[in-house]
Amino acid sequence: MALKKFQESNASNKLRTSSRLILEQQIDQIMIKTSNHTLDIAPPERHLPPVHEEKPENGGGRGMFKSVSRLVQRGDKKNLEPVIELAVEIAREGREGRRIGTLFTFGDADAVLKHSRPLILDPLAGHTEEARHIRDLNLRGTIKELAQLDGAFVVSDQGIVVSACRYLDATASDVALPYGLASRHLAGASISQVTDAVSIVVSESSMVRVFDDGKLVAEIIPELWLMDHYNVQLSRPYDEEHLGDLAVLTAKA
């Protein structure tokens, strides 16, 4: 009887040992598989294809946002598209695991400065124009960090970021915005009406909107699923263009 119990106990121990070894092997395999992958909690940092140097067609812009540039009547369009591209990158990537909103003005920089004031000491002051050009990779990374702060970026026709963290002190009473667009969009629309600047607004809902002469002329949707989950504010009829997982909506002329 005692021998039988010993044999049963020994068999049970062997079974548990075997099960434990199998489980450990499975865990090891899982660890090996997952060790080759990084789990991203924050939104993935994806970069848009660079704006290639090519001759503008019919006075339009270059690269992937040519349809938006064609609608804009003001500013040097060869430097407008890198600004839009950067705005879309910010909308897609966010910062520190969260979505952020910001605002760019492009063109007529002197007038924009007259209708704005600094919120903090300008972090870009004192740097060379070469270091502040919108195509400079170091500057683009810097802007992505500064975009977490309040205020607008002022970009000249030449593509130089003249100032950062500016409060736009311009209100055009006859600017009409769709319901749901808040103060950042109102500031962008207003400054585009009282000056010859174009405004590019990044919302915390990951949408990018372009204002020209106080009017919403384009919306860029960085993730196509937002087309079904977000209320597009651009009035119909509009043209729709798909670029990878981007949707670019532009007002019909």
Q: Domain extents for the chain?
A: 63-251
Q: Is 160 exposed, middle or buried (0-12, 13-18, 19+ CB in 10 A)?
A: buried
**Beta strands at 198-202 and 215-221: parallel, antiparallel or unpaired:** unpaired
Report the C-alpha gap between 162 and 41 in whole angstroms.
34
Q: What is the CATH number of domain 63-251?
A: 3.40.1700.10
Mean pLDDT for all residues in the chain: 77
**Predicted local distance difference test score (pLDDT) of residue 223:** 66
Report the C-alpha gap between 193 and 211 in whole angstroms.
9
Residue with more model confidence, 46 or 187: 187
14: confidence class by pLDDT, cuts 50, 70, 90: low
Q: What is the mean pLDDT of residues 112-134?
A: 96
Task: Please say whether the beta carbons of 144 and 47 come within 8 A.
Answer: no
Say which residue the tokens 């915390």 belong to.
204
Could you tell me the pTM of the whole model?
A: 0.68
Reply yes or no on whether the pLDDT at 15 is more than 70.
no
**Predicted local distance difference test score (pLDDT) of residue 9:** 56
Reply yes or no on whether the pLDDT at 206 is more than 50.
yes
Report the C-alpha gap between 234 and 102 in whole angstroms.
19
50-54, 123-127, 169-173, 178-182: lowest mean pLDDT where?
50-54
Q: What is the mean pLDDT of residues 153-166?
A: 97
Q: What is the mean pLDDT of residues 139-152?
A: 95
Most confident option among 39-43, 114-118, 223-227? 114-118
